[in-house]
Structure 1
Amino acid sequence: MQIAPMPLNEAARQCYLQSLDILDTPPEETFDRLTRLACVLLDAPMALVSLIDVNRQWFKSRQGLEITQTSRDLAFCAHALHAEDMLLIPDACADPRFADNPLVTGGPRIRFYAGVPLRFADDLTLGTLCVLDTRPRQLTQTELAHLRDLARIVEREMLHRSLAKDAGSAVEQAGRTAKASAQAHFHRVFDNSPTSKTLVSPQGRIQQANREFCQLLGRPKEALVLTQLRALIDPQDQATLDADWQRIVAGELDSQVSEVRLITTADPALWAELSLSALRDAQGAIEQLVVLVRDISARKRRQQQLQRYQSTLEQQVAQRTEELARSQETLQAIADNLPVLIAHIGTDLAYRFNNAVYRQIFGVEPTQLKGRKVEDVLPAQVYAQLLPYFRKALAGERVEADDVRYSPHDARIWHATYVPDIRNGKVEGFFVMSLDVTERKHKERLLLDQATLDPLTGLPNRAALHQSLALALQQRAALALLFIDLDGFKQVNDRHGHEAGDAVLQAAAGRMLAAMRADDTVARLAGDEFVIIARGVNSQASARDIARKLCAALAAPIVLAGAEVKIGASIGVYLNAAGQPPQSAEQALALADQAMYSAKRAGRNGFSVSQG
């Protein structure tokens, strides 16, 4: 038995495999569907998605085989890492590399093997899509083509999985950065923030650059101050930045995100995401622009790689449509088993082809859709939303639509791609490929909520409060800041237990929300402490009315399971008049906190107002 040699790029290959975070994960229907289809199309009893780890081969998906992994020394797929196109073994007993292999001489008694390498960035081969049989055999050219097409789909699904993981990590990192920046003084956080930031004048000159920004550019702070930000941008992207900048300066926008290439000492064209935000004075004039810079080079490389693979797949689909016309049943089987909504629409906006996913979404057999107008199938509001994309595709433009919902009664979210069907230089229609991204969207929203919401009450948490308060104070808006401490809450906890205490906190949060306006912010600071930002409050009289209303609402009895409890509230109010020099969020909270203690010393279940 021969043992396959290590690839020359083994270290890089292993690093990339580990970065996908796919080893030892549970089975996924996305990959199982493809191995089942491979068994059907090639009439094989076994099919695998096999990944070659350091000392083993592990099966992400398997059909017809009970074991989940084998030693790498025994793996046929380890030899396939070196194949240019495909490793074919018609009869393993007649092949000196495998004749005495335990997988041949013993269970599962492999005699036939065909494996297509799964290749990714920089020619890194991670494993194979393979079929196996217990009898010697040969494959037809059509069967070989089916196996290659399925392998390309496996590669694409693995890339989709990797991009979704990266997006989740980006959201989590953004949440941590926002929380850190809200807990310390602005300038100290600015200088020591783990995020690259710079303050820029309305004329585009850098006024202040933090440490991370200097490191990203590879230049000392002294060399960046008073430099035009535009001079750090690749000439190809300066027009993009100029357009966004002018819209903010003209007052059309307060913030904008631009993707441009930065000129750095290490990388002459590093892709970066620039988040531009305007800081305005009381009259609305721009004083400065805050620019947050995030390195998105890795994401761009993945996007480009995914686009290349998607473009290749789309070209293959288009090129093979005519070839597979004589084998419509095979084409239908492939399309029906893909986790993608697929259709071909003619220039008359009538369906020419649909896969089985249409049955799941619209409750209509795909064969009954052929020749029907799209307008008669889609709900009116959905058709109106997608019609501009259809027109662009018929004009020869490849377009994508995000956040598509095909039915008002279906909660699923789709990402649709429309690819023109161009034959002999003429647009004959377009292909539709829609991917269900509901789970990814929900995970992104969940991560954002976890970073900004209190899990018990559902109110904004400390980090979200600091962010909202800092922005309101920076804008010199009139507001009343109410610091609320619940009186008698400890006694409820001690007498009735923590579950009852949690119920009281939830009831108090509901009463505060009901007492305030929709544009006011009600947040939980910690424990039984709450903070309210009441916007547009200019007078002590108005502030006292709000505090009095809250005291009355919170003093009313609260009915728990089998008991009735009473609490109260000591409220400290800090009044920030419009146009006055802004306090920091910490200073304003401290003044409201001091006023709260004055109210508590005065007898509790009352309020005290401090004029800023």
Structure 2
Amino acid sequence: MQPVHEWHTAPLPADEAKRLQLLRSLELLDTPQEDVFDRVTRVVAELLQVPIALISLVDEDRQWFKSRVGLDVCETARDVSFCTHALHSERLLLVEDAHADARFAGNPLVTGAPHVRFYAGVPLRSSKGFVLGTLCAIDTKPRTLSASTQAALCDLAATVEREIVQREAARETREIQEADRRKLRLSETRFHTIFEQTPTGKAIVDLDGRFIEVNPKLCEITGYSADELVTMTFQQITEKADLRADLQLVAELLDGTSKTYTLEKRYRRRDGELVWVELSVALIRDDCGQPLHFVSVAHDITSRKYSEQVLRDYRQELERRVLERTRELTSSRVALQTITDNLPVLIAHVDADLCYRFNNQVYREVFGVDPAALRGKRVRDTIGAATFERCLPYFRRVLAGERVTHEDIVYEGAPTRIWNATYIPEFQRDAVAGFYIMSQDITETKRRENQMRSEVMLDALTGLPNRRALAEQLALSVDAARDEAVPFALFFMDLDGFKTVNDQHGHDVGDALLKQVATRLKKTTRAGDLVCRLAGDEFVLLARGISSSSACSRIAQDICRAIGRPFELGRAEAHLGTSVGIAMCAGGSDTSAEAMLGDADRAMYEAKRKGRNGFRFASVPADAAPAINNYLDADRQSAVHP
């Protein structure tokens, strides 16, 4: 009866999956022999006077020999490999006599060819500490190694490790470069989409004012084709009367006085007509701060300017008619009262002591008092002390002989209404004896203006505030942090896995998914926090009053958990995650909105690079625990599907 031979199979390393992933990515397996490795095995065979020397790489089911001396086969099964035991060694696995070692006595490589009796293997580690294989020496007879020989074998293994680490670094460099190229292509695609498809005129302009690139909307606004515009300068199509102010603002950009400017001006179209635009311009500089070119955005505001002119003409005509009638009917108080009582305007005559001499019936409707009872009464007692103090500077100007317009008045007697008042001086013998007040209700006009502003500030898909709203609120928060020591934190979020869902199910499902994400973010954050959608699957949270990294960590964890829960898409489910970058601004900090957003954006990409559905701080806060930037959500592996 033949004896039963047994041997011990080495357990899998704790980091086996990552170890195998790295080993395969290095592209060493199943490759031709290389002198850089063969030189080492030849030296080992000669130094230790052994018949076999190997550089062994341990794959999932085998050990494969990148370099071998004294062995014809290029690989053996992993379960009989001595090297798999060496994966668990700190420095050197030494087996002086395999027959006397219970782990290997029954091993087929011991009982049969190549009849291993002696084994010395040094683990080969990557830069991250993963053991990829060994440098080993094998003999067919038992033997011992001196301490100096062991040290020499470890030194040779370090030479092999250095070559592997260099290749690992080169691979990581290639991956980073490829990722950078992908980001650049994505950035260019986004820029092209925004530049070409947004409903505003856009242009890139050189430092002399010549158009470098224009979008279709700017061609529509100016009436010129793109080919025509790129042969022209903005000075050529700007109305001459508006050019001086524009050039002055350009000079301030170039000398660094300002970073951007906005003005309303006129373009003269190709057909000769004038078109009003609201122009926003920024100067792009290179890494050394030298000016490169301008980026300009033009909104066609011709219809708005026309409406404003009509309203001004109407007011001026109304004022002209009232004054004309007032002069004609000064001698007839009854006739004057009749006319003014039937105009939808507050009309009053005030003397130099700021007491009423005349009021029309609209005062009864607004203040609930008999107009006749107001004669001789002080203006302060009727409109209220607070309103009077706000109006007093205008009263002083009109009493000095200046015609004055006062915007956005709220009278205490009518707190829900907004008024626009014109104060016209009354001259008697070349001296101001008082003034006339004509105050028009502009509540509805203001409501429409505010509604239009709200629509401009909201994202059309999710209803969240958009990039413009974020820019405005972020600037206010930076000012409050600097001037009033009010801290805040900025969370930049990019969805993990959204592109896959969008590609598989279509843009309609992707849009519905973004709406659900917006709803969850609103429910997860505080009522006073500002949740914005920048574009695509990028969101930003502006949280005021946050001063500790632990509070930021809790908020980021809540966001990751909320987005990590499955989303319902009809009969299917979608699984997303979110990578969060956090930038904190302490009270009294001197920073900028652009710097804060850039820091949070870079921290988000770092979180995504480190494993997704987690968060990273732009810089580790002083009060943070050492592992604050290594956070991994406990539910992350089950909540996020690649």
Q: State TM-score, norm by structure 2.
A: 0.47
Which structure is larger by alpha-carbon Rg, 1 or 2? 2
Q: Which has the higher contact order (CA 8 A, sep 6+)?
A: 1
